[in-house]
């Protein structure tokens, strides 16, 4: 959004000065191009970092046996975000939100922040990572509830938040979802106790309804 505003308001000013003056117009043009370049570089870096994190989780989840099914990068037609990973297993349905953050990450319940330590320590709020994970789990539960044969079971979908970077320093207080390091993920899923044991046919039905609603 900031880039769009800069383009809409900055470009007319540059064009006006370009046709009415000389040097100042070029200075402004270079300045605007530097801002746009920095913005694009930052977004590319964030995307690349996130992609590498998701790729690492995919590799780690290969440790699960053939009773488990993995669905990666689920996007829905409403365009409202994506779900990094969904694991379907005999002991449950797990929706995984992956973060490739470094540095200090602080959690108090559903409130999250990031602390930068240097000559001047600063703490900045983050969008709630746990709320994001729970929203995704609710979306998958709503899809599962459309399967009539499974609806009476009132299936619970587990929301997991996984940090993949070894250089992250977590300060977790009263989290509302399980917060895991990547080396804890497989054991958590394997050892999760469930009152419902899903058959391969039921897992296939759940997988199909998710894939049919994804784009």
Inter-residue long-range contacts of 179-187, CB under 8 Å, 24+ positions, other chains counted: 179/107, 179/130, 182/56, 182/57, 182/60, 183/60, 185/57, 185/60, 185/61, 185/96, 185/160, 186/60, 186/61, 186/63, 186/64
Judging by beta carbons within 10 Å of its beta carbon (0-12, 13-18, 19+), is residue 161 exposed, middle or buried? buried
pLDDT in tens, 35-88: 555 444 444 444 444 456 578 999 999 999 999 999 999 988 766 678 999 999
Question: Is the per-residue pLDDT at 174 higher than 90?
Answer: yes
State the CB neighbour count (10 A cutoff) for residue 131.
15
Query: What are 110's two structure tokens?
Result: 């559903």
Question: Is the per-residue pLDDT at 179 higher than 60?
Answer: yes
State the CB neighbour count (10 A cutoff) for residue 179.
19
Question: Is the per-residue pLDDT at 113 higher than 70?
Answer: yes
Query: What are 111's two structure tokens?
Result: 């409130």
DSSP labels for 36-71? Answer: HHHHHHHHHHHHHHHHHHHHHHHHHGGGS-TT-EEE
Question: Is the per-residue pLDDT at 6 higher than 70?
Answer: no
Binning pLDDT at 50, 70 and 90, where does residue 92 land? very high
Instruction: List % helix, strand, coil for the chain (3-state, nearest 5).
Output: 50, 25, 25
Q: Which residues contact 54 (CB under 8 A, 6 or more apart)?
A: 72, 73, 84, 85, 98
Average pLDDT, the chain: 82
182: closest CA among 76, 62, 74? 62
Distance CA 107, CA 170 (A): 8
């Amino acid at each position: 959004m900031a880039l769009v505003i800069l383009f809409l308001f900055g470009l007319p000013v540059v064009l006006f000065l370009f046709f009415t003056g000389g040097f100042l117009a070029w200075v402004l043009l270079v300045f605007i191009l530097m801002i746009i370049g920095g913005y694009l570089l930052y977004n590319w870096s964030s995307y690349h970092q996130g992609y590498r994190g998701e790729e690492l989780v995919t590799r780690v989840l290969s440790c699960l046996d053939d009773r488990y099914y993995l669905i990666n990068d689920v996007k829905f037609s409403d365009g409202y975000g994506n779900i990094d990973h969904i694991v379907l297993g005999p002991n449950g349905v797990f929706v995984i939100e992956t973060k490739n953050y470094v540095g200090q990450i602080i959690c108090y319940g559903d409130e999250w922040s990031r602390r930068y330590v240097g000559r001047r320590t600063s703490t900045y709020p983050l969008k709630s990572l746990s709320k994001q994970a729970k929203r995704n789990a609710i979306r998958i539960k709503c899809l599962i509830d459309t399967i009539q044969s499974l609806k009476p079971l009132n299936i619970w979908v587990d929301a997991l938040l996984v940090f993949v970077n070894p250089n992250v320093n977590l300060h977790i207080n009263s989290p509302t979802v399980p917060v895991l390091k990547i080396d804890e993920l497989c054991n958590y899923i394997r050892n999760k106790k469930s009152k419902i044991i899903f058959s391969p046919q039921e897992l296939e039905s759940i997988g199909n309804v998710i894939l049919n609603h994804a784009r």
